[in-house]
Structure 1
Amino acid sequence: MATIYGMTNSGNCYKPRLLMAKLGRPFRHVEVGSDDNGTRSAGFVAKNPNGMVPLLEMDDGRLLAESNAILLHLAEGTRFLPADAYERALAYQWLFFEQYSHEPYIAVRRALLTFPERARDATPERLALTLDRGNKALRVMEKRLSESPFFAGKSISVADLALYAYTHVAHEGGFDLGGHHAINAWLRRVEDDPGHVPIGWLPGAG
């Protein structure tokens, strides 16, 4: 059985759990946090020298890090990775967008405001920057979703799961989604897709 090492309240760690749930695949979750130095322990660093979660350990012991790389691997041959070459490239495009233009601002601002260990980094300048850049990312998403039901076309893909992870909790970072009607409709479509589970869900938790 595959094992996913991660933090329950992390959006990046939620991504592979959400995909596994939607695929109905069994896996084991091992909680590894940064607040208690779990990601810096010798045992974990031996598995991932970068000292970050999530980390996927496959049945045969092979290891794979980086949330979106894990998504792509798990989605191979499923409905979450488009068969059409162009739509597959669109999925990749939005995965890159999520990591470069979305997560560094929306996820980081949430962490600054909700994780006590990050409070010292929540300077007015950084909060202003992440709010501005995060809202820009939301505007880009709103435009795309006003034209298409999902990011890579007419069907849900790994791109939607990646972007859903932190967008659905963006309010925890002080982002107002009230005027983003296309985003809100998309959030409901992702949640209505079979097998959906909330961010706090863990295998065996029901």
Structure 2
Amino acid sequence: MLTLYDFMDSGNGYKVRLVLAALDIPYKLVECDILKGETRTPEFLARNPNGRIPTLQLEDGSFLAESGAIIWYLADGTPLAPKDRKARAETLQWMFFEQYSHEPNIAVARFWKHYLPKLSPLQEMDLPNRMKGGYAALDVMEKHLATRRFFVDDRYGLADIALYAYTHVAHEGEFDLSKYANINAWMARVAGQPKHVTISHKN
């Protein structure tokens, strides 16, 4: 059986749990509290030298890290990962966008605002740039969704899962999603998918 090392409030970990649930893949969940440094222990670093969740232990005992790599591994050959060459590339395009333009701003602002008792002076100085970058990413998504129900091939897939994870909790970073009608409609469609689980769901 697969073993997922995860922190339940992590959007990156949530992506993996969304795929596991959608595909009915059984797994064992091992929670690691990143706020208590549980991913920095020698035992965890032996599994993932980068000291981050999610980390997935495969049936053969090997480990796979990085949420994008994990969800692609799990979904390859299923309807969540397109077979068409261009659609696969477009899926990866949105997954790279999420990790480069979306997550570093929206997820970081969420962590700072939602989990830290107080920001450092450096964080206070950097926060406006994080907010600006987050809104810029949301603007790109909103425009793309103006003529589509989902991000690639108009069908639910890995691009939607990758982007939904932190978008649907962006308000915890004090992002105002009220002006993003297309994003809100898309989030409702994602939440309405069969076997959808919430971010706090435990297997």
Give the TM-score band, short-chain normalised: over 0.9
Partner of 2:42: 42
Correspondence 1:110-189 to 2 at 5 A: 110-116=110-116, 119-120=119-120, 123-189=123-189
Aligned with 1:28: secondary structure? strand
Find the residue that maps to 1:112 and give its secondary structure: helix
Structure 2: how far apart are the matches of 1:163 and 1:26? 23
Q: Secondary structure of the residue that 2:50 maps to in structure 1?
A: coil
**Structure 1's 168 and 121: CA in aligned 2 closer, same or farther, altered over 3 A?**
farther
CA deviations on 1:1-29 (whole Å, 9 max, x unpaired) are 10110100110111101110111111111
CA RMSD, 1 decimal: 1.3
Residue 61 of structure 2 corresponds to 61
1:193 counterpart = 2:193: yes
**Superposed displacement of residue 117, structure 1:** 6.5
- Sort the Cα spacing of 1:130 and 1:93 in 2 relative to 1 into closer, same or farther, 3 A: same
Task: Give a deviation string over 1:121-178, Cα, whole Å, max 9, x none.
Answer: 6733211111100000000000111122111121111110010000000001011111
For 2:146, the aligned partner's letter is S
**Take 1:128 and 1:197, find their aligned partners in 2: how far apart are those partners?**
32
Distance 1:191 1:121, change over 3 A: farther
Tell me how far apart the structure 2 counterparts of residues 192 and 151 of structure 1 sit (CA, whole Å).
Answer: 16
Q: What does 1:1-16 align with in structure 2 at a 5 Å threshold?
A: 1-16=1-16
Q: Which runs of 5+ in 2 are unaligned?
A: none
The code of the aligned residue for 1:192 comes to G
TM-score (norm: length of structure 1): 0.95
Listed one character per residue, the Cα deviations across residues 22-50 of structure 1 (whole Å, up to 9, x for unaligned) are 11111111011221111110110011111
Unaligned runs of 5+ in 1: none
CA distance in 2, matches of 1:178, 1:80: 29
Distance 1:122 1:144 in 2: 34
**Structure 1: which 4+ aligned runs deviate by more than 6 Å?**
none
SS at match of 2:30: strand
2:56 is paired with a residue whose SS is strand
Query: What amino acid is aligned across from residue 125 of structure 1 in structure 2?
Result: M
If the length of structure 2 is used for normalisation, what is the TM-score? Answer: 0.96
Give how far 1:119 is off.
3.2
